[in-house]
Structure 1
Amino acid sequence: MSPVTAELPAAARAFLARPHVATLTTLRPDGTPHVTPVRFTFEAAAGLVRVTTRAAARKARNVAAGGPTARGALCQADGFRWVTLEGRTAVTDDATRLADAVRCYTARYRVAPPTPPDLVVIEISVERVLSLNV
């Protein structure tokens, strides 16, 4: 288990397991934030957030442009309760990683994600967790 997610309280894990929409923040090439609502999965044991999207989507292009130092944050909120997961971000079209992302998404939301021809997965390796009231 990732050292950061190993410290996640059970209540925060339970909160993140609820099939809500979250916001994903990536940085545009000019450094300004791009925030968009997304469905996601979180694998606490691996400290890994996954978001499937199109390669042409602004969020995927932002991550790709950031290269190996790209950073991102995902925040799930419900009223005055929220958890934010921050870390290094990468985008890939690797078939194995895509299959894992689709499998996890389908289990979480009980429906398969859209599968455009340019499907990719954005992955955040969680390095920091912020939360309130969970």
Structure 2
Amino acid sequence: MSRATVEIPATTRAFLTRPRTATLTTLRPDGTPHVTPVRFTFDAATGLARVTTRAGARKARNVAAGGPTAWVALCQADGFCWVTLEGRATVTADPGRLADAVRRYTVRYRAAPPAPPDLVVVEIAVERVLSPNDGIPVLKAK
């Protein structure tokens, strides 16, 4: 099975590198949305967004409970300029993936993320990008 990646305009990629806070929307086990502010990174080359958090945080538990079909939305806004990244998410405590997420976060926000003992990374395989600024990019199979 090929993994879809999203081609996005350079202006959108640049917007997603600004050190801003976003909101992450996950679904609780009862189906209601849970929205929380987060800091994140996005790798346009791989189509992967990352959010570091505690394993016990509601957002991580929601993603874990959703299994392989856990769909999330990550939205960064600045005034009327916004970009939403949507895709399937997983939670991992893999040391290599955590180190990569922390490194990317530190570069983007110029400070390391909090480091609780139960640190995990929510990885979002972005399948859809929504933005009124550049239109909706086309998905391409990799």
TM-score bracket, shorter-length normalisation: over 0.9
Cα 1:4/1:101, change in 2 over 3 Å:
same
Query: What displacement does 1:133 show?
Result: 2.6
Kindly provide the amino acid, as one letter, of the partner of residue 72 in structure 2.
G
Corresponding residue SS for 1:86: strand
The residue correspondences of 1:26-45 to structure 2 (distance < 5 A) are 26-45=26-45
How large is the Cα RMSD of the aligned pairs? 1.1
Counterpart residue number, 2:48:
48
Contact 2:5 2:46 (C-alpha < 8 Å) held by counterparts = no
- Residue in structure 2 matched with residue 74 of structure 1 by the alignment: 74
| Equivalent position of 1:65 in the other structure | 65
Equivalent residue, structure 1, for 2:125: 125
**Mapped partners of 2:17, 2:108: distance in 1:** 8
Percent of aligned pairs sharing the same letter: 77
Structure 2 counterpart of 1:115: 115
Unmatched 5+ stretches in structure 2: 135-142
Counting helix residues as a fraction of each chain, which structure ranks higher? 1
User: Partners of 2:80 and 2:128 in 1: how far apart?
Assistant: 20
Cα deviation, residue 5, structure 1? 2.5
Once the two structures are superposed, what CA deviation does each residue of 1:43-65 show, in whole Å capped at 9, x if it has no partner?
Answer: 00010000000000000000000
Structure 1: 5+ residue stretches without partners: none
CA contact (8 A) 2:52 2:122 kept: yes
Show structure 1 runs of 4+ deviating over 3 A: none
Inter-partner Cα distance in structure 1 for 2:62 and 2:118: 16
TM-score by length of 1: 0.95
The AA in structure 1 aligned to 2:24 is L
